[in-house]
Chain A
């Protein structure tokens, strides 16, 4: 018999660890239909007919966050055969709050009390049998980290599912409240199953506006609500929340023995230092310095160098070429495979080791609990320009690769804040933009260090200015949502979980290399290898590049970039191939200047490039590439996360226009200062600066109405 078990619990209760322990590598990750909430499904280890569904981490079954709506719609509409409710034993009161709600759904529940090792260590005692009895369901002690008790939890859940005996909730509220709930239950339509009546009655009393979508007809319970509100002088939702906590405190007294202690926990002591008013930022800066120093400069550089030069440079590319020649493959096919596909994709894969090291660090910081503190520390600063502290994590990850960075914006609950974060995350130079910086710095500025520093500075400035400017438009008007975030206690993460998280992010980058970049490498190879010579379409020799299809296309686009100082078709084409993948820009220059292959920083083409345009135009070119629409893979991520075509185009359009305007101003005003050139372009540039200043400094909109409504979410209908 196929059994479906849902895993429900608070965020940070160890749900993902338990899920991984229960299912191993047997997982399927996707999205809930219509929303960008992650959906994880897996098969129970050793029992192929048992499906485990990992619900998003929630604090309650109220309809205020996307996660809560998704979780409860699944539980109501799909009715899993059993629920494992994972509970953080160190924080049992708050966790039981969700349990009392899950118990009302009429589905067999098994409570898995997690972190029992920590509870014992602190000297507390939880009487598990008593707890089970008081809540009316099975309960087991587990430690998801160490893997103890999880087998028993799964067995109990499967058994409960097979018995189909739904456990009726035994918790009771104050008599007056119970009476009103009964009254409301009587009014419910016939088709609601007996065991779910309490849930629906309470939701109606709480004036839950999303519950009506789950019912055939909605009775009018306003009289009941009135009775309750008059009796308690409060609104119904607060009354019921209170009743739940009152009940929980009552049973906690019987079931949990707490060591009397006033001392701060170890976690609190760390927080005293790490989030200290004066030390927070220096500590954070130090941590970030170590992370980037190790992952970019030392280990990362070593690994990337080895992958590029040794693995691809001396083994794979020549190896493939030789092999193809040995089987007398046609010249054009050898060219396509060796120079087009293998070299193109290889250039991208060269970044993978570096990125994996960065993601390894970030995964560690995330799972040990420091990342949540970073959001808290940065909130002070980010709030000043209209973003929330939670926007910082996507940007941090985005400095490795924009795709997982954009995906990390999911943790931001507020719709406006999330959209703004998605739009601005890719301004931070990602790993793939570094070669462009190296190329420009090397060819035009004698490798000056300020070029790469200024690239990050421009990225950050673009985020700050965009935050301020966008916040002053109608679309984003209003205060950022107040910062509220649970901080998990500091703990050592398991190696398995850190590696898994690193791999999930890295994989999204590798996938892009395997699909979109592979395809674009082929297209690009074709466009630059074929063309018309004397009116005849043919395959070109390297020196006939000017006649290629690519040159034709480049010549059409080039005038658009003329005001920015780089109207040469080669520059235009390179910028366009940058849309496919940013590291393509350097590769394309290599091809266009007649070098089959160039080093990561394009050292071979520095003299030729320097002869093509002026340094100030080159800098404008660099800035344009940093700020304009990201690569296709990141654009795809933007589309997925925005979940709305209009918003997707708005984001891309905004980025491109900003890039164009900034590059134009840099080139025009820069030329005026350096060469004294003055023309129409200079006037336009100054006008744009004025418009920019106006947008930046005008007063905030008064209106603070939220005009971006959360999409109504329905489980598969």
Chain B
């Protein structure tokens, strides 16, 4: 399911990162890799703050929808 549907505080494993090549690369460099853990810290209107590899990353709804967990 897409990351936007994840419950805050639960640890999830990334299955796939979709979206445009460039954004996907950027996310991978930030630590969003397949098999990595991701936790939603807070969510507003689909935009979310997630915890990945010990750092907090804010991502827009469009992008969160393309991260499959």
Residue A268 lies at the interface, judged by CB distance under 8 Å to chain B: yes
What's the least CB distance linking A288 to chain B, in Å?
18
A117 at the interface (CB under 8 A from B): no
Contacts of A238 in B (CB 8 A): 28, 33-34
State whether B44 touches A277 (Cβ < 8 A). Answer: yes
Min CB–CB distance A240 → chain B (angstroms): 10
Contact check, A484 vs B44: say whether CB atoms are below 8 A apart.
no
Contact of A276 among B29, B44, B55 (CB under 8 A): B44
- Which residues of A613-670 are within 8 A (CB) of B? none
- A628 to B2 alpha-carbon distance, docked (Å): 45
- Distance, CA A534 to CA B31, complexed state (A): 79
Asked whether A487 and B57 contact (CB < 8 A) given A268-B41, A277-B45, the answer is yes
Q: Which of B29, B52, B63 contacts A483 (CB 8 A)?
A: B63
Chain A proximity of B43: nearest CB distance (Å) = 8
A264 near B58: Cβ-Cβ < 8 Å: no
Question: Would you give the shortest CB distance from A537 to chain B, in whole angstroms?
Answer: 63
CB atoms of A479 and B49 under 8 A apart: no
A481 pairs with B23, CB closer than 8 A: yes
Hey, which chain A residues are within 8 Å of B15, CB to CB? none
Instruction: Report the interface size class on chain B.
Output: 20 to 34
> Which residues of A are found within 8 Å of B41, using beta-carbon distances?
264, 268, 271-272
Contacts of A97 in B (CB 8 A): 29, 31
Kindly state whether residue A569 has any CB partner on chain B within 8 Å: no
Listed stretches A56-64, A145-153, A155-163, A550-558; interface member:
A56-64
| Size of A's binding interface in residues, CB under 8 A | 44
| Contact A94/B54 with A482-B23, A484-B59 known, Cβ cut-off 8 Å | yes
With both beta carbons as reference points, the residue of chain B lying nearest to A369 in the complex is identified as B56
The CA of A515 and the CA of B31, in the complex, are separated in Å by: 47
A484 and B54 in contact, given A275-B42, A275-B44, A376-B47 (Cβ under 8 angstroms): no
Task: Report the separation of the CA atoms of residues A237 and B21 in the bound assembly, to the nearest whole angstrom.
Answer: 11
Q: Which residues of B contact A286 (CB under 8 A)?
A: none
CB pair A241–B28 under 8 Å, yes or no, is yes
B49, A64: Cβ atoms under 8 Å? no
The segment from A85-93, A357-365, A590-598, A687-695 that touches chain B is: A85-93
How long is the Cα–Cα vector from A481 to B54 in the complex, in angstroms?
Answer: 25
> Contact mask B1-29 → A, CB, 8 Å, 1/0?
00000000100000000010011011111
User: What string of 1s and 0s marks CB contacts (under 8 Å) between A131-150 and chain B?
Assistant: 00000000000000000000
Distance (whole angstroms) from the CB of B15 to the closest CB of chain A: 13
Q: Is A379 an interface residue (CB 8 A)?
A: yes
A561 contacts B by Cβ under 8 Å: no
User: Chain A 217-247, CB within 8 Å of chain B: the 1/0 string?
Assistant: 0000000000000000000011001100100
Once the chains bind, are B29 and A487 in contact (CB under 8 Å)? no
| Interfacial chain B residues near A268, Cβ < 8 Å | 41-42, 51, 56
Give the residue of B34, B42, B44, B53 whose beta carbon is less than 8 angstroms from that of A242.
B34
Interface pair B60/A91, CB less than 8 Å apart:
no
CA of A456 to CA of B32 in the docked complex: distance in angstroms? 40
When the two chains form their complex, are residues A267 and B56 in contact, meaning their CB atoms are under 8 A apart? yes
Contact of B60 among A90, A264, A377, A379 (CB under 8 A): A379
Chain A residues within 8 Å of B33, by CB: 238, 241-242, 245
Contact residues of A between 34 and 78, Cβ < 8 Å to B = 59-60, 62, 64-65
Given the contacts A482-B62, A487-B58, A93 and B53 also touching, CB distance less than 8 Å: yes
Whether the Cβ atoms of A94 and B31 lie closer than 8 Å is yes
Pick from A62, A92, A271: contact of B25, CB below 8 A.
A62
Q: Does A489 contact B (CB under 8 A)?
A: yes
Instruction: Compute how far the CA of A237 lies from the CA of B25 in the bound complex, rounded to whole angstroms.
Output: 8
In the complex, A88→B22 CA distance in Å? Answer: 25
Q: Tell me if A485 is interfacial: C-beta within 8 Å of chain B.
A: yes
Q: Are B22 and A483 in contact (CB under 8 A)?
A: no
Q: A271-B56, A379-B60 are in contact. List 6 more A-B contacts (CB 8 A).
A: A272-B42, A380-B44, A483-B58, A484-B60, A485-B57, A487-B49
- Tell me the A residues contacting B by CB distance below 8 Å: 59-60, 62, 64-65, 88, 90-94, 97, 237-238, 241-242, 245, 264, 267-268, 271-272, 275-277, 280, 372-373, 375-377, 379-380, 383, 479, 481-489
> Across chains A and B, which 5 residue pairs bring their CB atoms closest together, nearest first?
A483-B60, A482-B63, A60-B29, A376-B58, A94-B53
